[in-house]
Structure 1
Amino acid sequence: MSSILVLAAHPRLQLSQVTRRLIDASRSQAGSSVAVRDLYALYPDYLIDVAQEQQALAAARLVVWLHPIRWYSMPPLMKLWVDEVLTLGWAYGRGGQALRGKDLWLVTSTGGGEAAYHPSGYNRYFFDAFLPPYEQTATLCGMRFLPPLVLHGAHRVEPAALDAHAHTYAQRLRQYPDWPELAELSACPGCDVPAGDRPSLSSSHTP
């Protein structure tokens, strides 16, 4: 079983230089500790095999979400994966203990440069302002949200800078869990969901 699961999601991977390069770096890791699942290759019809995805998650200690930022969030298939795979009673809520104690690491890229994510830039906020949905998703599932690895200005990145970024990413995979900063991170806080806030698993009602 793999201790690191890389979930990659890029809707046009053939045109990507950053995500594609990092997928290659993931697959080049020696041994069998890293498993890579390219969601758009696996599910071109968007019909996600929930049982298979949950099995892969259960085997991992570190879950990596590898995708570009699209409209300040994740690509659509990644969002569908979250909606369908992280189910009530399995990932969160009463009885939802399957992911508790695992780590979640966001590895992402943006089209705009770092200066665009500033109060004076056209995105108006620092990049961290767009991360709470990711962090809270991890927290709800009892996972620890690790400091993201972000490459800004992906459309114009120089080859040397991309090489350095891919090297850093691959090195982090090899060194996990021996990252110095992990010792300073607190354990994931409790995030219990009151039973009345979610329908029963047999209910057909939705908000």
Structure 2
Amino acid sequence: MSNAILVLFAHPALQRSRVQRALAKAVRDLEGVTFHDLYEAYPDFDVDVAREQALLAAHDVVVLQHPLYWYAAPPLVKQWFDLVLEHGWAYGARGTALVGKRFLCAVSAGGDEAAYCAEGENRFSLRQLLAPVEQTARLCGMEFLDPFVVYGTHALGEDEIEAAAAAYAARLGALRGAER
């Protein structure tokens, strides 16, 4: 049995992104992957909760793909979380719709990996910066997977971007076929 994967893609300025554009292209048409561009679907932030909940319910793995903006996801992601992950549906005593699903963050960061540690310029690891997302996933009963991260995006050459995109596609391919 293969896992259905939902990629929730959030980039408010995709035309300016080399890395996120390449990552998106690498997975957009993969078999078993539903690619859902949140900024394309909701440019006015008016999220269709029923539609989003139906998408989540129909998939086994949820991937949140975005660039790191001021140590967090772009603003539409917060709006999406606040509206879609309702008490009684996603969490709480009767909120079991997401229990057992897996959750992966696929993030790009402009700074290099060494900047994301206690001694680095950003003082926190990327995993620490993702703690609110991890806790949200866990509260909803999902398994939070080790993030897929592309560091140093401002300095990457085309070959490095292509390699990152291939690695991302391979990660989703492995998740698609992974046994529970």
CA positional deviation for 1:131: 2.2
Shift of 1:177: 4.5
Task: Map 1:52-201; keep pairs closer than 5 Å.
Answer: 52-178=51-177
> 1:165-205, CA deviations, whole angstroms, 9 ceiling, x for partnerless residues?
111111122222545xx88xxxxxxxxxxxxxxxxxxxxxx
Alpha-carbon deviation of 1:120?
2.6
CA contact (8 A) 2:5 2:176 kept: no
One-letter code aligned to 2:22? R
Which whole-Å CA distance do the structure 2 matches of 1:41 and 1:114 have between them?
A: 30
Answer yes or no: is 1:23 the counterpart of 2:50: no
Contact kept in structure 1, 2:4 and 2:176, CA below 8 Å: no
- Give a deviation string over 1:115-142, Cα, whole Å, max 9, x none: 2112332211222221221111111000
* 2:34 matches 1:35: yes
Determine helix, strand or coil for the equivalent of 1:176: helix
Q: Percent identity?
A: 48
User: Any stretches of 5+ residues in structure 2 without a counterpart?
Assistant: none
Indicate the structure whose relative CO is greater, using CA pairs within 8 Å and at least 6 residues apart: 2
Residue 6 of structure 1 is matched in structure 2 by: 7
For 1:106 and 1:118, locate their aligned partners in 2 and report how far apart those are by CA, in whole Å: 18
Normalised by the length of structure 1, the TM-score is 0.82
Amino acid at match of 2:56: L
Tell me how far apart the structure 1 counterparts of residues 10 and 174 of structure 2 sit (CA, whole Å): 23
**SS at 2:146 equivalent:** strand
Which is greater in Rg?
A: 1
The separation in 2 between residues aligned to 1:82 and 1:136, in whole angstroms, is 12
